[in-house]
Structure 1
Amino acid sequence: MSDLLFETQYHPPIAFFAELAHADALWLETHDHYRKQTYRNRCLILTAQGIKPLTVPVIDGNRSEKVLSSLIEIDYRQNWRHQHWRTLQTAYGGTPYFEYYADYLHDIYQQKPALLFELNLALLRFYCRCLRLRQPIHLTSGYHTGEEVGSGAPGQPATPAPLDRRDWLTPKATTDEPGPDRTSVPAYGQRFGKDFVSGLSILDLLFMQGPAAGSFLT
């Protein structure tokens, strides 16, 4: 196993956690420039109408790609929290474990973090607890270039560079393009449709499988 390097993601896809389950530790990039139309501020869920994206609006989106991802502010002038929560209730309110996790998720929304990075980190820590993933989470101190991430004690070797998974997963689930987020998790029962839909947020697996969700990651 090795360490992983990812960007933070909003309700990350299942494939994110499937990778993490086989890692020693997770490094989160804090010095990359924000990129639009990525999992940084969106997730994909399954509704009666098919795959639906949920997107967190950010402030000054026109110039956001010149801002560090860790400094991107959430735009609370838009009523996105209410919209996202109502959509989740409609899509997953009838699943076996929605009520089991709903209050915890609602509390994270109610904290109203100013930064997208803070929201994503709170969600990530929550999901790791739910999935019983105990790998340590580190934040990069500078932009990671693929070199070793630090040095050990005097006379000890430096820490090997983590496996770079930044922007490895993309929210293009409305296409038939193959990708890691479409092939890394075995099929499980879903609420809508006859055919299994891959590439979804961890929400889909967690609401359907509950405490057993972690067993689908190995």
Structure 2
Amino acid sequence: MQLLTEIQYNPSILYFQKAFEADELLVEAHEHYQKQSYRNRCHILTAQGVVPLSIPVVKGNSKILVTDLEIDYGQRWVDIHWRTIQSAYGSAPFFEFYADYFKDVYDRKPARLFELNMDLLKLFAKFLKLKQPISLTQTYVKTYEAPVLDWRGELHPKREPDNLRLMPYRQVFGKQFAINLSILDLLFNLGPEASTYLQNPAAFC
């Protein structure tokens, strides 16, 4: 099965859980940008609770192709995001092991959002030992048939997916387990065990 999904910024845990179930991850590269989606935002857990991180973009609207969308570096979002991530996960067991790799991606300051998200996606795939190949669509197709599972728009910041299957794992903050966070939360807290969690969450019951 090919899993078709939009590109996301520091995708959610469920995004990668679904990716492990597929034979290939197919990233939509010919859609138009959609505001208020995971394409330019993610959620992490801080001492103040769950907070969103959003990347400002230049003239982001539904008429621009997602691959053409430029990041607005006129705003100091890189410093804000990294300081927030560092504050949230600096004491997590595996933060120091992975942090420099992610910092390097941010410091490169790719011009376009798609490029930044792809760089991060490849890094996550490496650390999670995701063996499934990642490819890009060659053209826009509105409707797909099997063996493609169309998951475009399935995950959205304003709604919780019906098929959420996340078992509690150790987190830095909060007495109550926070669900559907960015994969950063799982990776910094579980390290190499994150891959096992994604493939067999019941083992963490």
TM-score bracket for this pair, using the shorter chain length: over 0.9
Structural mapping, 1:130-209, within 5 Å: 130-147=127-144, 160-172=146-158, 178-180=160-162, 183-209=164-190
My pick for the range that moved more, 139-148 or 39-48, is 139-148
Question: What's the Cα RMSD here?
Answer: 1.3
* 3-state secondary structure, aligned to 1:43: strand
Number of aligned residues: 199
* 3-state secondary structure, aligned to 1:21: helix
Give CA-to-partner distance per residue, 1:32-89, whole Å, 9 cap, x none: 110011000000000111110000000013xx22111111100011110000000011
Match of 2:112 in 1: 115
C-alpha contact 1:57 1:75 (8 A) present in aligned 2: yes
C-alpha displacement of 1:134: 1.2
C-alpha displacement of 1:180: 4.6
* 3-state secondary structure, aligned to 1:4: strand
Match of 1:13 in 2: 12
Tell me the TM-score normalized by structure 1: 0.88
* Residue ranges of structure 2 left out of the alignment (5+ in a row): 200-205
Tell me, in whole angstroms, the C-alpha distance in 2 between the residues paired with 1:26 and 1:78. Answer: 32
Tell me, in whole angstroms, the C-alpha distance in 2 between the residues paired with 1:194 and 1:88. Answer: 20
Match of 1:154 in 2: none
Q: Does 1:68 align with 2:65?
A: yes
- For 1:7, the aligned partner's letter is E
Tell me, in whole angstroms, the C-alpha distance in 2 between the residues paired with 1:180 and 1:48. Answer: 27
- Taking structure 1 as reference, are residues 180 and 14 closer, same or farther at Cα in structure 2, changes over 3 Å only? farther
* Residue ranges of structure 1 left out of the alignment (5+ in a row): 149-159
C-alpha contact 1:29 1:139 (8 A) present in aligned 2: yes
Tell me, in whole angstroms, the C-alpha distance in 2 between the residues paired with 1:3 and 1:147. Answer: 10
Match of 1:58 in 2: 57
Match of 1:152 in 2: none
C-alpha displacement of 1:161: 4.5
Tell me the TM-score normalized by structure 2: 0.93
C-alpha contact 2:144 2:150 (8 A) present in aligned 1: no
* 3-state secondary structure, aligned to 2:178: coil
The sequence identity of aligned pairs, in percent, is 51
* 3-state secondary structure, aligned to 2:173: coil
* 3-state secondary structure, aligned to 1:138: strand
C-alpha contact 1:74 1:114 (8 A) present in aligned 2: yes
Give CA-to-partner distance per residue, 1:150-204, whole Å, 9 cap, x none: xxxxxxxxxx5410000100113xxxx64257x2222101111111110100000
Tell me, in whole angstroms, the C-alpha distance in 2 between the residues paired with 1:106 and 1:30. Answer: 25
